[in-house]
Amino acid sequence: MNNLRPNILSIKKLTFLGFLLAITPLYAQQVKKAEKAAILLRNATLHTVSRGTVSGDLLIRDGLIADIGTNLAIHSGTAVLDCSGKHVYPGFIDGGSKVGLAEIGSISVTNDFSELGDFIPHMKALTAVNPNSVSIPVTRVNGVTTVFAKPEGSTFPGTGALIDLFGYTPDQMSCGSERVVMQFPSTGRRGRWDRRSDEDIKKETEKALKNIDQVYESAIQYARIDSAAKADRQSWTTNNPQMEALLPVIRGQQPLFVEANSYTDITALLDWISNKKIKVVLTGASEGWRVADRIARAGIPVITGPVLSVPRRENDRYDAMYTNAGKMAGAGVKVAIRTDESENTRNLPFNAGFAAAYGMGTDEALRAITLTPAEIFGVQERYGSLDKGKVANLFVATGDPFEMKTRIEKLFIRGWDIPLESRHTLLYDEFLERTPGNQKK
Amino acid sequence: MIRNSKAKNLLLLICLPALAAAQDLLIKNASVLTVTKGNCQNCDILVTGGKIAEVGKGLRQPANVRVIDATGLYVMPGIIDAHSHIGIDVVNEGTNPVTAEVNVGDALNPLDVSIYRALAGGVTTSHAMHGSANAIGGQCQTIKHRYGTTNPDDLKMAGAPRTIKFALGENPIRTHGESNKIWPATRMGVEQVFRNAFSEARIYMKEWEDHKKGIRKSPPAYSLRMETLADILNGKILIHCHSYRADEILMLMNVLRDFGINKVCFQHVNEGFKVAPELAAFGATASVFADWWAYKFEVYYSTAYNAAILTRNGVVTSINSDSGELIRHLYHEAAKTQRYGDLTDEEALALITINPAIQLGIDKMVGSVEKGKDADLAIFKGHPLSVYAIPQMTIVDGIVRFDIKSDPDDVRVDVNPTEKYSTYFESLEDLDHNACMRGVSELLMQESHAQYLRYRYSKQHQH
């Protein structure tokens, strides 16, 4: 009988258990170890995203959301957490970040997101993801469980990877969705220091457009030869990893993630793809609001952000970046939000909060960091909402997770119960009441 | 869509000065967050002559006042940023480890739209600072956000004490030691730059004293640099010191103690939390980021709980922007201390109002909603510490400088009449995340290489 009795723990008790764990010496570790959870979240307000907000229970087992419903049966070996008055959300997904690829901004040898070369789509971000980056725990304790770790810095800087922010190897972290990234030739100035003449910029852009046309034509040819060779069961020996990396894009098996920001560049991109068969996701789109109708008509999804950034033209309204996501969504564009950050990817919910306040609305902004990016990355069957059978990436909060006051009390990634610790919390614990204080001894 | 906005801008040129006409105001029926005197529901604020004349319920409405109905809205003191680089043309005079004689007040740019964008985030006062290239940088200027004026001097806040920028750690080391092979190349060298400068200034002061007493016949050669250092030693200039690591913070306090200086505000001070008891004992104050870290090695061991730890240890703490981006939402940055360290509403709001006012020596004039203070006020829809808060109106000296209801799309004061619309920038790193070292990379390397590096690291921080 005894082992059938549900193990009912309140959050307070769990916190106390966590405290006991914390005071046992844990040398050479960043944070406490995670534990595989078999837990029933009882009487929670479930923000499913896919089916609105419902009250009920959610069962986590074997890394998945094993069940959702009311009065779910309790099985042996399953802990029960009373979540009355608590809110459960699917883990947030950042549609573009450098978490795992960047450690210390000013020290280039700790940054692995920008390889040399202009056409290097075969550079795999997943290879360079550091599972022990100090930024990872810092990011996930704010409810960000998944990020698209992306390369940048050239026209085809590489292939980004969607990763969960828990695991000890890149393979353990991978969500199985990797995407080729492209920077569309830009007509904007790179900064105030950029003193190129308008004519020079025009020439450079034309040249860059010609280059990408050539790349595209070559890739088409490569795909044809590859298909023909495979159809004939010929072994065609070649070493062209760049072209190999573009095959899934050329064959329409996965979208190309193209960064374009000014409205002229977005328009040029839409023109560029209008006679091509490839699928595209528009990233950046900081002036998407200026051409939102056209983006909507083209049916191209957008990953935009950071919301918290300055307007890129002096004559733009102060809130141009706050309202951008909402305006595009209002025009019918499928919009996901990213931070484009590294160590402060934890601010994703606040970026969504600002977008929500400035026209997007809370429900749409929540979707923009959960189910919408899951759809854009083709992982909507496994990620992005609280639904039976999905990966158990979720958290329990005291309220609206966009609000700074809200506490996140429990966090699960792939069904692992993740300690709510990071370098930032550990330093707080140590230094809030430092001992010794300011005495000499 | 982008329009040819010549006509509109002409209108603006006419409108903005008109907007600037002082008018007495009665803000009615607001939730007033005074910061120093608690909250007052359904409260009125009477503004006359640019000052707060009265705060209370059911105030009598004098004749000829403009009434602002603030029913359902929050009014808080105008937000103050103790560390910014907006409204100035240049940031760093990075040619010498000691440049005390230069003054940011000589390089004000009232046309910078960043001032308006800060107003649209409720910020009425900022500390326009010299950069962090030199151990002893230039003097800074406390400005009021009187956007619309074309006279640089109009920005200066009368009665604000003089301030100067100091800098420790990587930035002066990189600028001078690594690049020019002069001190400081280490944190040891940084200390000696201060000790040497103050010692030289003491000799200079003694020589003048001796000359005045007749002990010394000829006066010493006049030096504006030495005069400025002497004013620091005499307590006439407040020190604001760019700093990160605990050891260097302790170092500067030791130097200041040895030279009889008892006031200092540490800026950034990411490791301030490690020496919070020492900061409190010295009486030093701290102006920090809400959550910036890891952009360089000396901020790798940081915590977003810094402001909370400092506050709980009795250190007067503010949250600053150092950025044309963050300055637009300091209310949001302050609210992060509720996620990271459970500060109360009042404590969180103090971080961006009365506390930075104390650090700039202007707390008698601004920083709270109190009778007699400057009528610098920010009106919000939604509590300012909520992510859904939207600033509605910002008032400086009783003048409405931002009103969301009459907010033009294009607020530029200086417009090139031949330009159809303004330039698109892929990156505005000097506004976003790069302000403190602005102007230094050009000094250190050839322009083309500087361009390349700044492009490559455009998303990275260089404070």
Within B190-251, strands assigned E span 237-243
Question: Residue B4: which CATH number?
Answer: 2.30.40.10
Residues B56 and B14 both lie in one domain: yes
3-class SS of residue A69:
strand
Q: How far is CA A230 from CA A137, A217, A246, B58, B345, in A?
A: 45, 20, 17, 85, 67
Q: How far is A371 from chain B (nearest CA, A)?
A: 22
Residues B153, B32 share a domain: no
Q: Are A353 and B116 inside 8 Å of each other by CB? A: no
Please check whether residue B363 touches A, CB under 8 A. no
Same domain, B73 and B103: no
Least CB–CB distance from A106: residue in B312, B455, B460:
B460
Sorted by sequence, the CB contacts under 8 Å of residue B222 that are 6+ apart come out as none
Answer yes or no: is pLDDT of A248 > 50: yes
**Do both B97 and B115 map to the same domain?**
yes
Kindly report the number of other CB atoms within 10 A of residue B51's CB atom. 16
B32 and B42 co-located in one domain = yes
Residue B254 contacts residue B190 (beta carbons within 8 Å): no
Structural domain including B217 reads 79-364
* Rounded (10°) angle between helices B187-213 and B246-258: 20
- Is B440 contained in some domain? no
Q: What is the ipTM of this complex?
A: 0.92
Q: Is residue B448 part of a domain?
A: no
Distance from C-alpha of A31 to C-alpha of B9, rounded to nearest angstrom: 56
Confirm or reject contact between B329 and chain A (CB < 8 A). Answer: yes
Q: What is the CATH number of the domain that holds B291?
A: 3.20.20.140
Instruction: Kindly state whether residues B310 and B198 are assigned to the same domain.
Output: yes
User: Which of A404, A432, A433 is the mutation pick for testing B, counting most B CBs within 10 A?
Assistant: A404
| Same domain assignment for residues B142 and B262 | yes
The H or E element containing residue B280 is: helix B276-282
For the ranges A30-34, A437-441, B104-108, B430-434, the one whose mean pLDDT is highest: B104-108
Show the tokens assigned to A232.
């004939």
Confidence of residue B17 (pLDDT cuts 50, 70, 90): very low
Is the minimum CB–CB distance between A427 and chain B shorter than 8 Å?
yes
Where helices occur in A193-274 by DSSP H, the ranges are 198-231, 241-250, 263-274
pLDDT at B446: 42
Q: Say if B433 falls within a structural domain.
A: no
- The helix/strand/coil state of A110 is helix
Q: B218-257 pLDDT, tens per residue?
A: 999 999 999 999 999 999 999 999 999 999 999 999 999 9
- Mean pLDDT throughout B374-403? 98
Is B374 within the bounds of a domain? yes
Q: Chain A residue closest to B345 (CA)?
A: A405
Whether residue B192 has pLDDT greater than 60: yes
B331 touches chain A (CB under 8 A): no
Q: Are B426 and A189 inside 8 Å of each other by CB?
A: yes
List, for residues B246-264, the tens digit of each pLDDT value: 999 999 999 999 999 999 9
Could you give the dihedral angle defined by the CA atoms of residues A50, A54, A59 and A65, in that order, rounded to the nearest 10 degrees? 0
Shared-domain flag, residues B23 and B164: no
Query: For A12-16, what is the mean pLDDT?
Result: 52
Could you tell me if A389 and A354 are in contact, meaning their C-beta atoms sit under 8 angstroms apart? no
Question: How many residues make up chain B in this entry?
Answer: 463
In a domain, B35, yes or no: yes
Determine, yes or no, domain membership for B252.
yes
- Chain A contact probe: residue of B132, B302, B427, B446 with most A CBs at under 10 A: B427
Q: Are B74 and B41 in contact (CB under 8 A)?
A: no
Q: Is residue B208 part of a domain?
A: yes
Q: B356 and B375: one domain?
A: no
Domain boundary among B364, B389, B410: B364
Which domains does chain A carry? 1-91+384-441 (2.30.40.10), 92-382 (3.20.20.140)
Closest Cβ opposite residue A191 in set B304, B324, B458: B458
Which of B335, B364, B393 is the last residue in one of the domains?
A: B364
Structural domains in chain B (count):
2
pLDDT in tens, B391-449: 999 999 999 999 999 988 888 887 776 776 688 888 775 555 556 677 665 555 444 44
- C-alpha B423/C-alpha B421 separation (Å) is 7
Residues A122-153: tens digit of each pLDDT: 999 999 999 999 999 999 999 999 999 999 99
List all residues of chain A from 362 to 381 with a beta carbon under 8 Å from chain B: none
Q: Does B225 touch chain A (CB under 8 A)?
A: no
Helix or strand holding residue B293 (H, E): none
Per-residue pLDDT, A188: 86
- Least Cα separation, residue B200 to chain A (angstroms): 32
DSSP state of B225: H
Q: Cα–Cα distance between A82 and A92 in angstroms, integer?
A: 23
Specify whether B188 is located in the same domain as B289: yes
Residues B180 and B220 in one domain: yes
Q: Could you report how far apart the first and last alpha carbons of chain B are, in Å? A: 36
Q: If you ran DSSP here, which 8-state letter would residue A414 be given?
A: T
Q: Is A402 on the interface with B (CB under 8 A)?
A: yes
* A202/B contact by beta carbon, under 8 A: no
Considering B341, B364, B387, which residue would you say is the last residue of a domain? B364
* Contact between chains at B425 and A437 (C-beta distance less than 8 A): no
The residue-averaged pLDDT of B132-139 equals 97
Tell whether B280 lies on the interface with A, counting CB pairs under 8 A. yes
Q: Please name the member of B116, B295, B450 whose beta carbon is closest to the beta carbon of A105.
A: B295
In eight-state DSSP terms, residue A73 is: P
pLDDT tens, residue by residue, B165-182: 999 999 999 999 998 999
| B360 in the same domain as B214 | yes
Min Cα separation B419/chain A (Å): 11
Which among A104, A107, A191 is the nearest to B425, CB-wise?
A191
3-state secondary structure of A256: strand
CB contact under 8 Å between A104 and B422, yes or no, is no
Closest partner CB to A428 (pick from B277, B309, B382) = B309
Nearest to B423 among A114, A189, A404 (CB): A189
In a domain, B449, yes or no: no
pLDDT on residue B408: 86
